[in-house]
Structure 1
């Protein structure tokens, strides 16, 4: 294999490679290059080496925008609709405006790093500043995943996004209510339709999607337990029911207080449905709209913001009610393994990582208990 360079104009070079087809015929491939003569020679040598080792890929005119469109169609069959929606938003609305017109064969790590910097400075689509580091971090992950597929399809020799520098993402401080505040919250919301969903979140640790997907057939009032078998996912106004986040159903034991509240709620719901001419059965949703239709996850969030605004309590996200349940459990000395199973985390490592801020107090209590046990065991000398 041979190659040589030809100067087209000052600083502009043509790298000419001699290739051989499967039939043995010779053909030439031209590459454009900008730089010094020495740099052009080094690039020519690199390309010749790739040809000799069988890793050379001919230049592809496909732009990143066109490639991402193709990749998203490929991903449609292997990811959930919600995940595809998020991939599409990050790829087409955030990445493409920055580097979408670059051909993927000329996409370099330096250019990708420059795109992340620009996104942080002025990436918002409304023109009001930059995107958050967390959003740019997600953009980078999507681009890496997309270009990994390009390597598999032999459109790229290596993935230039992998070496790009991720932005530093600071973990947000977790907010949660203490037991006393939780009691105030429940009393304040008791007259509203938000009482039951908030109770399920703050006293059972259920996720928003799990709450709106919970049916009466999964509530075992006699044995005081809930079976969490599915979750609700909202995509552009439509709701889809699917398996839980961890991929496994779980059983959540519930307290006598929750049992009594659910019994009263079922009676009220049955009376409400009867006025509509609808009979309440086990397929009905525990949390539903006034007309007995299913509740959308986002509607639950919007209503939470509204009713919380009518109180004097600290403003937190609906998901933070689940965090409140977790921190109260761990602070009360409940073993993290029990908390993991109750919350539906796939591994105990997730539980420990999320709630490590609760652990120092638990360790101090453990140290004192061990110390007390040893002192009792050691008999005083005569």
Structure 2
């Protein structure tokens, strides 16, 4: 039986001389014009499915760039259609910045097909000169990801960015506080309104967004547990609540040193609510301003830096308390898998390679154990 004829503009599947099937559909372009887009398949059904997807996108008004699209067209389209709906807002904002500031100005006039290895190398060099090696590496990664999507869409046959090695960046060596320095900081911060937040950062290694996004409903003081469900971020001038970095919820047992500060924070917040009266902004957040609004993540970091400076402590970032927490846990003999769950890492390699800064004393103790083991083996012979 003859196959049903497609309506005008919906394309027709035909067989090529090489045995594959192809279909052509006029689709909407990012600039508002229409152009012919070809799709291919090993079978008639596969090609017809791709043709139907193009038709559906076209009817919904979703642009589909053709092979002749320039990078100045494809990159903004890709970040809006591929990244914005699927990834976090922080990721979208970072990608959009690299596209707008570095990729489009340097290689935006190149078409997807004409982009060469030399063009990518020149882009990396230009961004390194104007910004930094780390920025060039990130721009290279954004370009590589965007071109991989273009390959999947059959706009290009190869990803030239994969042929250019990303620039090497010297990894910043984290030097978290030693135990005495951490205790000095907690003592200096005891009278600060955000003291409880700093205790959680030091003892549990919470990210700053996770701290300010913490709710009272996430804490069970009787069972001594804390559940990390979300975080608060600011992107594009807007403060908003989001899921955790890896989109997973984790429950952490609360050490005793966190219980009293959390009880004090609840009492203090109740007093602030009474003082604010009708101007109080009702919410379930643990850390709030005098009027009940959530605390800015950057303000938490600023208070941390101010207290550290006033106490004459070595300057570190608030995020480095995560390094310190991991170091103390590993030095205490806590298994790396447990440390990974406490810190909320998606891979144990991150825990071991980035955060496991074992102290000199711990290393010396480990080597002492090695001495005892080797001597014992030697004596048995």
TM-score (norm 2): 0.76
Q: 1:223, 1:283 → 2: CA distance? A: 23
Matched with 2:133 is 133
Matched with 1:108 is 116
Q: 1:180, 1:359 → 2: CA distance? A: 13
Q: 2:330, 2:300 → 1: CA distance? A: 27
Change (3 A) 1:23 1:175: closer
Q: Is the 8 A contact 2:229 2:243 kept in 1?
A: yes
Residue 304 of structure 1 and its aligned partner are, at CA, apart by 2.7
Q: Does 1:82 align with 2:110?
A: no
Query: Out of 97, 100, 103, which is 1:92 matched to?
Result: 100
Q: Is the 8 A contact 2:340 2:351 kept in 1?
A: yes
Secondary structure at 2:298's aligned position in 1? helix
Of 228-237 and 358-367, more deviation after overlay is shown by 358-367
Q: Is the 8 A contact 2:327 2:359 kept in 1?
A: no
Residue 291 of structure 1 and its aligned partner are, at CA, apart by 1.3
What aligned pairs does 1:155-170 form with structure 2 within 5 A after superposition?
Answer: 155-170=155-170
Change (3 A) 1:98 1:206: same
Of 219-228 and 356-365, more deviation after overlay is shown by 356-365
Number of equivalenced pairs:
318
**Could you list the per-position Cα deviations for residues 277-307 of structure 1 after superposition, in whole angstroms to 9, with x for gaps in the alignment?**
2699995211111211111222322333333
Q: 2:105, 2:377 → 1: CA distance? A: 70
Matched with 2:74 is 67
Q: Is the 8 A contact 2:326 2:357 kept in 1?
A: no
Q: 1:377, 1:223 → 2: CA distance? A: 46
In structure 1, list runs of 5 or more residues that go unmatched.
1-21, 25-58, 124-130
Secondary structure at 1:77's aligned position in 2? helix
What aligned pairs does 1:298-317 form with structure 2 within 5 A after superposition?
Answer: 298-317=298-317
**Could you list the per-position Cα deviations for residues 64-108 of structure 1 after superposition, in whole angstroms to 9, with x for gaps in the alignment?**
111112112212222222211111001111111111112222110
Secondary structure at 2:85's aligned position in 1? coil
Secondary structure at 1:257's aligned position in 2? helix
Matched with 1:142 is 142
Q: Is the 8 A contact 1:64 1:96 kept in 2?
A: yes
How well do the aligned residues superpose, as a CA RMSD in angstroms? 2.9
Residue 377 of structure 1 and its aligned partner are, at CA, apart by 11
Q: 2:323, 2:362 → 1: CA distance? A: 17
Matched with 2:344 is 344
Of 358-367 and 132-141, more deviation after overlay is shown by 358-367
Q: Is the 8 A contact 2:232 2:240 kept in 1?
A: yes
**Could you list the per-position Cα deviations for residues 14-39 of structure 1 after superposition, in whole angstroms to 9, with x for gaps in the alignment?**
xxxxxxxx799xxxxxxxxxxxxxxx
Q: Is the 8 A contact 2:276 2:291 kept in 1?
A: yes
**Could you list the per-position Cα deviations for residues 170-216 of structure 1 after superposition, in whole angstroms to 9, with x for gaps in the alignment?**
11011211111111101111111231211110111111111011011
Secondary structure at 2:154's aligned position in 1? coil
Change (3 A) 1:151 1:347: closer
Q: 2:78, 2:303 → 1: CA distance? A: 37
Q: 2:262, 2:220 → 1: CA distance? A: 10
Q: Is the 8 A contact 1:216 1:281 kept in 2?
A: no
Secondary structure at 2:176's aligned position in 1? coil
Q: 1:182, 1:371 → 2: CA distance? A: 32
What aligned pairs does 1:202-221 form with structure 2 within 5 A after superposition?
Answer: 202-221=202-221
Of 179-188 and 62-71, more deviation after overlay is shown by 62-71
Change (3 A) 1:158 1:373: closer
**Could you list the per-position Cα deviations for residues 205-264 of structure 1 after superposition, in whole angstroms to 9, with x for gaps in the alignment?**
111111011011111111212111112222122222222223221111222221011111
Change (3 A) 1:195 1:74: same
Q: Is the 8 A contact 2:79 2:92 kept in 1?
A: yes
Q: 2:281, 2:127 → 1: CA distance? A: 51
Matched with 2:271 is 271
Secondary structure at 1:151's aligned position in 2? helix
Q: Does 1:295 align with 2:295?
A: yes
TM-score (norm 1): 0.75
